[in-house]
Structures are given as structure tokens and as C-alpha cells.
């Protein structure tokens, strides 16, 4: 048994054990032991405190300006198909005589026939005045050149000339001319529709029907 265990047992039994600090005379030499401190709880090194985080810089919500929405491209306007025609307006005997020319110019025989009809209606006839209306009146494809626009153009053309010539009636010669003459836009102006001068020249028997058609104007003469 070593000295340390012996001292522990004596201490547990309540027996005081003394150890001389010095060597007694005549005593057997005592074995000196170094006292070793009882193992205790070793101090746990404190965990290093986390370094203080730098104060968070406040973040600003930057609202970026959204680009203005682009306007939807306007739909291209659908234009009516272009129509092409030519009209001749002959002013004679206080009446406007309107006929389609087609691809041919107005012949002298046609003008003479109109002058003869004006004389039959009015009793006399001055020198005919001829004006021509060509459609389209421009070559701009971005502008409406359809039938509705053409009818409006013809109406404006007739209104201007009828007012200048002080006409008291309108005669539409042939179905081709009637397709583009909006007679309803001329107000209360008396008007009749009959055969074209070309039809009368090619079929003289049709003049009887033309004379019957002109009677409303004869009664107003």
C-alpha cells in the first residue's frame, strides 16, 4: 500500500494522520511525496464570443421606373378596293346630263344628241358646257379610293357645277353612271334616269322610251 492510499483510508476512518515536516532524530527516514492536486474540473475555455456583426446597412427598395407601355400599333385601316371610271357632265338647257364614258372619249354625236333632248325639253338650248370627272382623282394608295369615296366625290362635283350653271334638273344617262351618282344628296332637285346616249345611237328605237322618261322635266319647263 502506498502512502497516499494509506492516508486516504485513515482520513475515511476519522483517524488523524500526521506527517512530520522534518526528519525526527533516530526515526527511519520518511519518504517524501509530492502532493498532487486532486484533479478538478478543468476550466473549459470560454468559447470566443462571436465578433460583433457590423450593423446592417438598411437596404432601400429602389423602385425602378418601368418603361411606359408602348401603344399597340394601330391596325392598318382596311381600304375598299379602288374603282376606276370617268363621267362626263353636259350642262345644257338648264339641265345636267351625266353619262359614263368608259374607255372612250365623249363623241360629238353624243353631245349633239344631248343638245337635241335639251331643246325638246326646254324649247331652246344654249351651247353645251362639258365637264369631266375622273376617278380616282389621286394616286395616293393610303387614301380611300373605293366606291363610297367615289360617290362622295361625284356628289361634290355635281353640286358645285349644278349651282354654278343654275340647273333645274338632272338626267342620269345609263346604268353605269347611275352606279356612282348619289342623286339623293342633291336635295329636291328633279331627276330622272334613262338610257345612255350610246344606247340611243346604237338602238334608235330606244329614243321613244327616253322621251317618256323625260316627261317629268318637260312638265316643269
Between 12 and 19, name the one with better pLDDT.
Answer: 12
- Cβ count within 10 A of residue 10: 12
Q: What is the model's pLDDT at position 6?
A: 73
Query: Band of the pLDDT at 47, cuts 50, 70, 90?
Result: low
Looking at residue 5, its pLDDT comes to 74
User: Other CB atoms closer than 10 Å to residue 128's CB: what's the count?
Assistant: 15
User: Under a CB-based contact definition with an 8 Å cutoff, are residues 173 and 99 in contact?
Assistant: yes
Mean pLDDT, range 71-84, rounded to an integer = 70
Which of the two residues, 28 and 146, has the higher pLDDT score? 146
Question: What are the domain boundaries of the chain?
Answer: 82-215
For residue 51 the three cell numbers come to: 465578433
What is the pLDDT at residue 42?
55
Nearest to 90 by CA among 59, 112, 71: 112
Query: What average pLDDT does this structure show over 52-61?
Result: 55
Residue 4 scores a pLDDT above 80: no
- What local confidence, expressed as pLDDT, does residue 57 receive? 55
Task: Please check the confidence at residue 59 and state whether its pLDDT lies above 60.
Answer: no
CA dihedral 206, 151, 159, 124 (to 10 degrees): -10
Task: Write the secondary structure of the chain as one string of H (helix), E (strand) and C (coil).
Answer: CCHHHHHHHHHHCCCCCCCCCCCCCCCCCCCCCCCCCCCCCCCCCCCCCCCCCCCCCCCCCCCCCCCCCCCCCCCCCCCCCCCCEEEEEEEECCEEEEEECCCCCCCHHHHHHHHHHHHHHHCCCCCCEEEEEEECCCCCCCCCCCHHHHHHHHHHHHHHHHHHHCCCEEEEECHHHHCCCCHHHHCCCCEEEECCHHHHHHCHHHHHHHHHHCHHHHHHC
For 4-18, 59-73, 132-146, which range has the lowest pLDDT when averaged over its residues? 59-73
φ/ψ of 200, rounded to 5, equals -70, -35
Mean pLDDT of 92-105: 95
- List the grid coordinates of 96: 345636267
Mean pLDDT, to the nearest integer, of 60-76?
56
What pLDDT digit, counting tens, does each position of 104-159 carry?
A: 999 999 999 999 999 999 888 789 999 999 999 888 888 888 999 999 999 999 99
Per-residue pLDDT tens for 163-220? 999 999 999 999 999 999 988 889 899 999 999 999 999 999 999 999 999 999 986 6
pLDDT at position 53, please? Answer: 61
Q: Evaluate whether 184 touches 193 at the Cβ level (below 8 Å).
A: no
Amino acid at each position: 500500500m502506498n502512502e497516499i492510499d494509506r492516508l486516504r483510508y485513515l482520513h475515511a476512518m476519522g483517524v488523524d494522520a500526521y506527517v512530520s515536516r522534518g526528519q525526527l532524530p533516530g526515526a527511519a527516514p520518511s519518504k517524501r511525496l509530492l502532493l498532487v492536486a486532486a484533479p478538478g474540473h478543468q476550466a473549459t475555455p470560454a468559447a470566443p464570443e462571436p465578433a460583433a456583426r457590423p450593423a446592417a446597412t438598411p437596404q432601400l427598395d429602389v423602385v425602378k421606373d418601368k418603361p411606359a407601355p408602348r401603344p399597340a400599333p394601330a391596325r392598318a385601316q382596311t381600304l375598299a378596293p379602288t374603282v376606276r371610271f370617268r363621267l362626263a357632265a353636259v350642262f345644257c338647257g338648264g339641265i345636267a346630263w351625266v353619262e359614263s364614258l368608259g374607255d372612250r372619249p365623249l363623241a360629238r354625236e353624243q353631245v349633239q344628241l344631248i343638245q337635241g333632248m335639251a331643246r325638246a325639253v326646254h324649247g331652246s338650248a344654249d351651247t353645251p358646257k362639258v365637264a369631266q370627272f375622273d376617278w380616282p382623282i389621286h394616286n395616293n394608295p393610303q387614301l380611300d379610293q373605293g366606291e363610297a369615296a367615289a360617290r362622295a366625290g361625284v356628289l361634290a362635283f355635281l353640286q358645285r357645277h349644278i349651282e354654278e350653271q343654275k340647273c333645274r334638273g338632272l338626267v342620269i344617262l345609263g346604268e353605269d353612271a347611275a352606279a356612282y351618282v348619289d342623286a339623293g344628296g342633291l336635295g329636291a332637285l328633279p331627276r330622272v334616269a334613262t338610257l345612255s346616249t350610246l344606247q340611243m345611237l346604237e338602238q334608235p328605237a330606244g329614243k321613244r322610251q327616253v322621251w317618256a322618261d323625260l316627261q317629268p322635266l318637260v312638265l316643269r319647263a
